[in-house]
A = this chain, B = another copy of it.
């Protein structure tokens, strides 16, 4: 394998034909309970029968072998497919969607949309000749010094621009040129939340003050913050949560300063938090300007507010502009999620998972801490990275596949079909692995 493909990050090879539901079978035939689900990217587990059936949908077959350039020659039924899938679960207040293929390209095009809108506002209309010409030389005013504000610990993708907003780990960033874009602190809470209310509120306040101060400073330096991008839960960076009050504050500050508020739900979207969108729990007075997604939604893309629609052709464009087969599969997945009440299942199981983890935290208080989660989107911390990796290996050897993130966190990303019997098995393996550690 190494002869033909990059393999240094491979954990194990898997037999996907024999994998089913919550169980992933490795190359040696070991059946593993999977709470990582391909880096949080499978909503219905392995080989779900309804999805298998959707493969023989004539629309799927045609879209797979006669793939359209959606920006130029869309399928006659594409609006219908979108209505039955993405539009049916659109975040409150946002009704337009643009499909893309992965998380990075979704975030890239969200940023592009924000920059184009910001410049149009500033100019008072579409780009004039002066702007068009200077952009070909990468000079002002056509190539603006606009910036995007992101957070310490953030992960927004691995293209060069998204890496400029990603601040989780140096191994992603080192040796690569970057845009000089500003960065703010993201809250780091103490757990349990109920015992650290004051400390955590101060975290929120400090971070919000820093955000507003950066926006002002950048404007003064003529390096305006056109957009702010943030994850509801910083996942790759270590499962760091922000409170509803923190995000309400971000919405207020961005609105006040005319900054496009982008919520990156690439990892949190798709039901794991007990809702289609993690930001549903924030009770915002007005919706985010853009919400990006990928992973569990199979197709990438972003929802955006009406005022952000770019009217000139070929500005938000590329050959494929997404992948209709993924949207057709998603249509079926959403049908299944609704039919089988899977979001309710996730909320119930999530509550029990969190309770189980807290019990373990009490039992092994010197070894694990900071149990946290939103429904089944859970995590806890271990002393350091090497102990964490040791724990991951122990759990794997006992039949449980988990993910790591951040410095020393274990993250849980079960499929939406994860049930009671799976939870029992998982908690038992966690207990034994922790005892061994």
Given A41-B319, A314-B9, answer yes or no on A87-B4 (Cβ-Cβ < 8 Å). Answer: yes
Kindly list chain B residues whose C-beta atoms are within 8 Å of the C-beta of A119: 175
A174 interface hit (Cβ, 8 Å): yes
Contacts from A to B (Cβ < 8 Å): 1, 3-17, 19, 24, 27, 38-39, 41-42, 46-48, 51-52, 54-56, 58-76, 78-79, 82-83, 86-87, 95-99, 101-105, 108, 111-112, 115-116, 118-120, 127, 131-133, 135-136, 138, 142-147, 157-161, 164, 167, 169-180, 294-295, 298, 309-321, 325, 329
Give Cα distance in the complex from A413 to B111, angstroms. 32
Give Cα distance in the complex from A4 to B86, angstroms. 9
Kindly list chain B residues whose C-beta atoms are within 8 Å of the C-beta of A317: 6, 9, 158
Are B8 and A313 within 8 A (Cβ)?
yes
Q: Which 5 A-B pairs have the closest CB atoms?
A: A160-B161, A132-B170, A119-B175, A9-B313, A8-B313
Q: Which of B4, B136, B311, B313 touches A79 (beta carbons < 8 Å)?
A: B4
The smallest C-beta distance from A308 to any residue of chain B, in angstroms, reads 11
* Closest partner residue, chain B, to A311 (CB atom): B8
Give Cα distance in the complex from A117 to B133, angstroms. 35
Give Cα distance in the complex from A128 to B105, angstroms. 30
* Closest partner residue, chain B, to A321 (CB atom): B6
Could you list some 15 contacts between A and B, CB below 8 A?
A1-B78, A3-B79, A6-B309, A11-B73, A16-B75, A51-B65, A65-B329, A104-B105, A131-B174, A132-B171, A136-B173, A143-B178, A147-B177, A160-B179, A172-B315
